[in-house]
């Protein structure tokens, strides 16, 4: 136990050093260059025109890469995090509101996938006949990109928000279905034979024997599905627009606000990590040691 804690502390220290190194490299890469002569290659008429526009090219100008510095990113992050719930209209909402829209869509699509995939995976895993019958359909539908379903969803459903939920459902169902079927089919025959010897009824056997044994594999499928769902919702919201963290990224890019785009990317990564860690915690709770 102590060795594990020491390893965790060392890993945290290495991570901190890597983070500081990254910030240092970022700061050096965004340092402004020396003053340059802005009038080089310009005619007298062009210089006069620039002065009429309120710009004086005869003054030394500092050349910048245009990429935000860590300090600018810190100021942007503070601005968003200090007031995350403001709502100034359709195209100007706080980061918490945008995240809430995305999380609701992901949650609804994911729950629908659970309702379909887990029972269906149980049936397929317990029946070799149904496994062989369903396998061609699963193998054809599984590789299709979720975003390829978006035009069809928009045409049939005619609602961008519901279409986004459908895309989350269609991308979440396959990992969950396959992992559930695999987990159910991999339950030890000895345990099933004992249940049969004790004349355990099928429903009770499913909940008391098969489900606990297959739970770690089912949670693995759910974890994979959630990661894919969070990945897909950002791209889907860029396409359909309106609200959500994906739309926020696209809208800020259209506004040429690179600091807001980078901040949103970091938020997407942090939220994705927290969702993954939540399912990892659930997976550890249902994992048993033989």
DSSP letter assigned to residue 40? T
User: Residues 247, 238: contact at Cβ < 8 Å?
Assistant: yes
Q: pLDDT at position 64, please?
A: 46
DSSP letter assigned to residue 93? B
H/E element, 36: strand 35-36
Q: pLDDT at position 269, please?
A: 93
Q: pLDDT at position 31, please?
A: 78
User: Residues 224, 233: contact at Cβ < 8 Å?
Assistant: no
User: Residues 77, 246: contact at Cβ < 8 Å?
Assistant: no
Token output for 105:
């869509």
35 beta partners: 62
Q: What is the pTM of this model?
A: 0.81
Taking every pair of Cα atoms in the chain, the longest distance, rounded to a whole number of angstroms, is: 99
Query: Which phi and psi angles does 36 have, rounded to 5°?
Result: -125, 160
User: Residues 50, 41: contact at Cβ < 8 Å?
Assistant: no
User: Residues 101, 243: contact at Cβ < 8 Å?
Assistant: yes
**Could you tell me how many residues make up the chain?**
290
Angle between helix 95-126 and 128-141 (nearest 10): 140
pLDDT (tens, 9 = 90+) of the chain, 290 residues, equals 677 778 888 888 998 999 899 888 888 888 776 554 555 556 666 666 666 655 555 554 444 456 888 888 888 889 889 888 888 877 788 899 999 999 999 999 999 999 999 999 999 988 889 989 999 999 998 888 888 888 888 888 888 888 889 999 999 999 999 999 999 888 888 877 787 777 777 788 888 888 888 899 999 999 999 999 999 988 888 887 778 898 899 888 888 888 999 999 999 999 999 999 999 998 888 887 66
Cα 29 to Cα 27: distance, rounded to the nearest angstrom: 5
Nearest C-alpha neighbor of 25 from the set 67, 78, 63, 62? 67
Q: pLDDT at position 48, please?
A: 67
Q: pLDDT at position 62, please?
A: 43
**One-letter-per-residue 3-state SS of 7-24:** HHHHHHHHHHHHHHHHHH
Show Cβ contacts of residue 205 under 8 Å, excluding neighbours closer than 6 positions: 192, 195
DSSP letter assigned to residue 199? T
What 3-state DSSP class applies to 35?
A: strand
Nearest C-alpha neighbor of 110 from the set 285, 278, 281, 287? 278
Cα 278 to Cα 223: distance, rounded to the nearest angstrom: 9
Cα 205 to Cα 203: distance, rounded to the nearest angstrom: 5
């Amino acid at each position: 136990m102590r060795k594990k804690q020491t390893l965790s502390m060392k890993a945290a220290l290495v991570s901190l050093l890597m983070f500081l190194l990254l910030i240092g490299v970022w700061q050096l890469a965004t340092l402004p260059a020396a003053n340059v002569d802005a009038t080089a290659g310009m005619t007298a008429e062009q210089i006069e025109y620039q002065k009429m526009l309120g710009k004086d090219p005869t003054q030394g100008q500092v050349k910048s890469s245009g990429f935000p510095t860590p300090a600018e990113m810190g100021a942007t992050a503070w601005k968003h995090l200090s007031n995350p719930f403001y709502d100034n209209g359709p195209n100007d909402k706080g980061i918490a509101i945008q995240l809430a829209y995305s999380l609701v869509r992901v949650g609804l699509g994911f729950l629908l996938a659970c309702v379909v995939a887990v029972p269906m995976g149980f049936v397929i895993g317990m029946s070799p006949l149904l496994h062989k019958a369903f396998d061609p359909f699963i193998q054809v539908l599984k590789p299709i990109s979720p975003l390829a379903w978006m035009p069809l969803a928009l045409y049939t459903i005619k609602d961008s928000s519901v279409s986004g939920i459908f895309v989350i459902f269609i991308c979440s169902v396959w990992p969950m279905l396959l992992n559930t079927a695999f987990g159910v089919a991999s339950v030890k025959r000895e345990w099933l034979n004992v249940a049969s010897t004790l004349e355990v009824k099928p429903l009770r056997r499913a909940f008391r024997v098969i489900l606990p044994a297959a739970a770690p594999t089912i949670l693995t499928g759910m974890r994979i599905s959630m990661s894919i769902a969070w990945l897909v919702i950002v791209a889907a919201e860029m396409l359909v627009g309106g609200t959500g963290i994906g739309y926020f990224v696209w809208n800020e890019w259209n506004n040429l606000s690179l600091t807001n785009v980078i901040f949103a990317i970091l938020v997407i990564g942090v939220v994705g990590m927290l969702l993954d860690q939540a399912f990892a915690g659930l997976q550890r709770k249902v994992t048993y040691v033989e």
